[in-house]
Amino acid sequence: MLVLQEVQTYSTMTRSLLGMSDRLRCLGVTRVVMEATSDYCKPVFYLLETQGFEVWLVNAKDVKHLPGRPKTDVLDAVWLCKVAERQMIRPSFVPPAEIRRLRDLTRYRYDLVNTATAEKNRAEKLLEDAQIKLSVVASGIFGASGRDMMAALIAGERNPKVLAQLARTSLRRKIPLLEEAFTGRFTDHHAFLLGKILARIDALEADITEVERKIEEEIVPFASAVDRLDEMPGIGLTAAHVIISEVGLDMRRFPTPGHLASWARFAPGLKQPAGKNRGRGSTGKGNRYLARTLGEAAVGASRTNSFLGERYRRIARRRGKKKAIVAVGRSILTIVWHLLSDPNARYNDLGSDWFALRINPDRKKRDHVRQLEALGFKVILETAA
């Protein structure tokens, strides 16, 4: 069988890429394999996808060139072609267009929230620089009372008694402490900076509200999946939106829950050289947006009287909170896989007593005997009549 190889360079301009797609179609090419290169590969991927090609986006780590050979874009393309035609690689997960749009929105909301949080921290540091100890007295300085007080400071009010009287509801019980907290050296320089920071926070919060409204519009076709995910402990609407935007709805891409956990890097790697078990390695770095959401969900579930909450507490007592978060995050992913694989599936909590009811009676007996012997008792067991 005669195999021809053609190597040609194209620019990333749209006109050049369209010419490349026409050339590929003339050659009878049906599958295009690309190396993932951050955001630079997206325009090429999307254009070829719309032209009807089967586009594979592969992990750069999986197609790393052999050491000792020159590295150029042309040689990388030839190497990628060789490993692809020998079926030595597999495509990375790329969600469909509607999920990608939702993903762009949820990730932008995440970035906006982070920026707003950074601005709030900057405002608190500025007040500390002016010896204004509002954050020491009030649990949150960006509530209604805190905003009124900071607005008064910006407007030129410096009298601690007047500022303290702006407190509302339960904060009014701390007026003497507030008077002490507002005794500082707040200057016009601080007022100028604080005004800019608060204006920036207000603009960011308005943007967050607008993005959330757009997310609600885009999530309408997936409302059933959101409702089913929302039934899980620790998962709210925001977390459900992020999970769907990151993993999609088609679980056929992940044959088992273990494949999904491995893709999300919530499964430790196995090290077993020369037949010797070296233990489990770290999970590695995965999708940071999904990882943060699962971590927050695991912490939220830990405060509930549920199966996931009890699982977190049992692992945290033995192995620490960090490993408990990863373990519960993997359990959440397993549940998510089953819920999204079957549109009729609903979450059914096993209960916080599931572990106690499933423990082997002999094991419980040994544990109790060991505890009593540690206290200095001699234990003799007799079967009850």
End position of a domain, from candidates 42, 70, 92: 92
Mean pLDDT of the chain: 88
Model pLDDT, residue 281? 59
65 in a structural domain = yes
End position of a domain, from candidates 92, 124, 152: 92
Model pLDDT, residue 1? 52
**How many folded domains does the chain comprise?**
3
Q: Are residues 41 and 111 located together in one domain of the fold? A: no
Model pLDDT, residue 2? 57
Model pLDDT, residue 80? 83
Q: What is the 3-state secondary structure (H, E, C) of the chain?
A: CCCCCCCCCCCCCHHHHHHHHHHHHHCCCCEEEEECCHHHHHHHHHHHHHCCCEEEEECHHHHCCCCCCCCCHHHHHHHHHHHHHCCCCCCCCCCCHHHHHHHHHHHHHHHHHHHHHHHHHHHHHHHHHCCCCHHHHCCCCCCHHHHHHHHHHHHCCCCHHHHHCCCCHHHHHHHHHHHHHCCCCCCHHHHHHHHHHHHHHHHHHHHHHHHHHHHHHHCHHHHHHHHHHHCCCCCCHHHHHHHHHHHCCCHHHCCCHHHHHHHCCCCCCECCHHHCCCCECCCCCCCHHHHHHHHHHHHHHHCCCCHHHHHHHHHHHHHCHHHHHHHHHHHHHHHHHHHHHCCCCCCCCCCCCHHHHHCCHHHHHHHHHHHHHHCCCCCCCCCCC
At 113-155, the pLDDT tens digits run: 999 999 999 999 999 999 999 999 988 899 999 999 999 999 9
385 in a structural domain = no
Which has the closest alpha carbon to 180: 210, 209, 137?
A: 137
End position of a domain, from candidates 33, 58, 92: 92
Domain extent for 73: 14-92
For the purposes of burial, counting CB atoms within 10 Å of the CB of 222, is it exposed (0-12), middle (13-18) or buried (19 or more)? buried
Model pLDDT, residue 304? 92
Q: Are residues 170 and 290 located together in one domain of the fold? A: no
Q: Are residues 104 and 195 located together in one domain of the fold? A: yes
Model pLDDT, residue 87? 80
Q: Which two tokens stand for residue 299?
A: 């912490």
CA angle 204, 208, 214 (to 5 degrees): 145
Q: Are residues 124 and 111 located together in one domain of the fold? A: yes
At 320-363, the pLDDT tens digits run: 999 999 999 999 999 999 999 999 999 999 998 888 777 777 88
At 175-197, the pLDDT tens digits run: 999 999 999 999 999 999 999 99
- Cβ of 183: how many Cβ atoms within 10 Å? 14
Q: Are residues 213 and 225 located together in one domain of the fold? A: no
At 211-264, the pLDDT tens digits run: 999 999 999 999 999 999 999 999 999 999 999 999 999 998 899 999 899 888
118: domain CATH number? 1.10.287
Q: Model confidence at 3, in pLDDT bands (50, 70, 90)? A: low
What is the Cα–Cα distance from 379 to 372, expressed in whole angstroms?
Answer: 7
Q: Are residues 248 and 347 located together in one domain of the fold? A: yes
Model pLDDT, residue 66? 63
44 in a structural domain = yes
Q: Are residues 121 and 134 located together in one domain of the fold? A: yes
Counting other chains too, the contacts that 92-95 makes at CB distance below 8 Å and 24 or more residues apart are: 92/36, 92/56, 92/57, 92/58, 92/59, 93/248, 93/253, 93/254, 93/263, 94/45, 94/55, 94/57, 95/245, 95/247, 95/248
8 in a structural domain = no
- Please tell me which residue, 195 or 63, carries the higher pLDDT value: 195
146 in a structural domain = yes
Residue 16 backbone dihedrals phi, psi, to 5 degrees:
-70, -40
Q: Which two tokens stand for residue 139?
A: 């649990």
Return the exposure string of 140-154: e unless at least 16 CB atoms fall within 10 Å of the residue's CB, then b. ebbeebbeebbebbb
Name which of 156-160, 237-241, 313-317, 361-365 the model is least confident about: 361-365
Contact (CB, 8 A) for 297 and 239: yes
Q: Are residues 207 and 249 located together in one domain of the fold? A: no
Q: What percent of the chain has pLDDT over 90?
A: 55
What is the Cα–Cα distance from 215 to 209, expressed in whole angstroms?
Answer: 10
274 in a structural domain = no
Q: Residue with structure tokens 């301009």?
A: 13
What is the Cα–Cα distance from 311 to 236, expressed in whole angstroms?
Answer: 19
- Please tell me which residue, 161 or 37, carries the higher pLDDT value: 161
Model pLDDT, residue 275? 59
Please compute the mean of the pLDDT values over residues 4-11 and round it to a whole number. Answer: 84
For the purposes of burial, counting CB atoms within 10 Å of the CB of 228, is it exposed (0-12), middle (13-18) or buried (19 or more)? buried
